[in-house]
Amino acid sequence: MIFADFLKAVRQLSDPRFRRVFWLGIALTLALLVMVYALLLWVIQSVSDGALTLPDGRAITWVGDLLSIGSIFLMIVLSVVLMVPVASAITSLFLEDVAQAVEDRHYPGLPPAPGLSFSDGLRDTVNFLGTLLGANLVAIVLYVMLPFAAPFIFYALNGFLLGREYFQIAAMRREGRAGAKALRQKHILTIWFAGCLMAVPLTIPLVNVLVPILGAATFTHLYHRLRPA
């Protein structure tokens, strides 16, 4: 059934409200990567400012350039990691548009949702980003100790966190914070599995820019399947 929810989300990608969130997501992602890349180059330039000198007095001027070229490849790797928190931020801030588009097409008889205020959404986004980044920093220790299991740890951890975030926000629109938490705890394994499905394509460049939209839409369908009759 989770795959059916996902396919419904894919079929609605042409919706204008989906496209709006898509372009906002691309703009946010590019802005973040440019800022991080600029900061990285500034650090490299500060560390390797001027020419390095060998003990015999010869100057080495190509180190900064080499490091700068290498930083491009580093940013490619970082972009995969950064997509997880960026995706969560996009989902938290713009879920209302995606969820409403899903409900308008698939659940037209529903009463208007109370929705979330911008301040509540922003607060939840900041709290979740802190949890997500903190958990992944701690997980780095496990990646080093258990390199063969690193992919499984990454997907299991981020699948759990993303699933909790996606579902909590989707359900809060109609259940409130307490009701959404109770429903999430009741179906925690289903939500965790669905979160893992969202975490896997986040590590695929280009495909990952669609994940926030598909995640928001998929978990809106999931919520309506799991909500009390």
Of residues 71 and 5, more confidence is placed in: 5
pLDDT average, residue stretch 64-82: 60
For residues 205 and 40, what is the distance between their CA atoms, to the nearest angstrom? 20
- Closest residue by Cα to residue 102 from 18, 176, 43: 18
The phi, psi pair for 48, rounded to 5°, reads -110, 30
Q: Tell me, what amino acid is at 41?
A: L
Each residue's pLDDT tens digit, 159-204: 898 898 889 888 988 888 889 889 999 999 999 999 998 888 877 7
The phi, psi pair for 213, rounded to 5°, reads -70, -50
For residues 7 and 209, what is the distance between their CA atoms, to the nearest angstrom? 17
Each residue's pLDDT tens digit, 4-36: 998 899 899 889 988 888 888 777 767 777 777
Domain ranges within the chain, ordered by starting residue: 2-14+83-226
CB 174 within 8 A of CB 114: yes
pTM flag (> 0.85): no
Question: Which pLDDT score, from 0 to 100, does residue 189 have?
Answer: 94
pLDDT average, residue stretch 128-146: 80
For residues 124 and 82, what is the distance between their CA atoms, to the nearest angstrom? 18
Q: What is the CA radius of gyration of the chain?
A: 21
**Which tokens go with 68?**
């700068």
CA of 181: how far to CAs of 127, 170, 223, in Å?
Answer: 15, 11, 12
Of residues 81 and 60, more confidence is placed in: 81
SS3 per-residue string spanning 113-150: CCCCCHHHHHHHHHHHHHHHHHHHHHHHHHHHHCHHHH
